[in-house]
Amino acid sequence: MQSVFVSWMVAAPHNNHDLVEQQKYYGVGGHLFAVAIQKSVEYGFGGAITGFASSEEKLKHYIKWFDAIPIGILHPYHLAIAGEAARKVVETYEYHWSDDQL
């Protein structure tokens, strides 16, 4: 399966529930996955993405919330999101790219 490899994905510190008690924004991770999935579609890979979760806890989170598939080929927390699961992520997070500066 051809896919986009997500080498590093992390929310800003004020949105990372591992670092703060009250996040400023919710759903940042899902939106980041939606960006990667949309790029995979653009590149002709059908929305398939792969990457490594930072921990077993994160892997379980991705499996639960994004229907990620643990593939464990290159790393114990190696995962993939593809097919129907990828479509649902994009549909749920309604990703819209903009080059506008804030």
The three-point CA angle 48-53-56 to 5° equals 130
CA dihedral 7, 13, 47, 39 (to 10 degrees): -80
Q: Please report, for the chain, the start and end positions of each structural domain, with discontinuous segments joined by +.
A: 4-93
pLDDT score at 7: 84
Q: In which band, very low, low, confident or very high, does the pLDDT at 102 lie, cut at 50, 70 and 90?
A: low
- Tens of pLDDT, residue by residue over 10-24, are 777 887 777 888 878
Has residue 83 got a pLDDT over 90? yes
- The yes-or-no verdict on residue 94 having pLDDT over 70 is yes
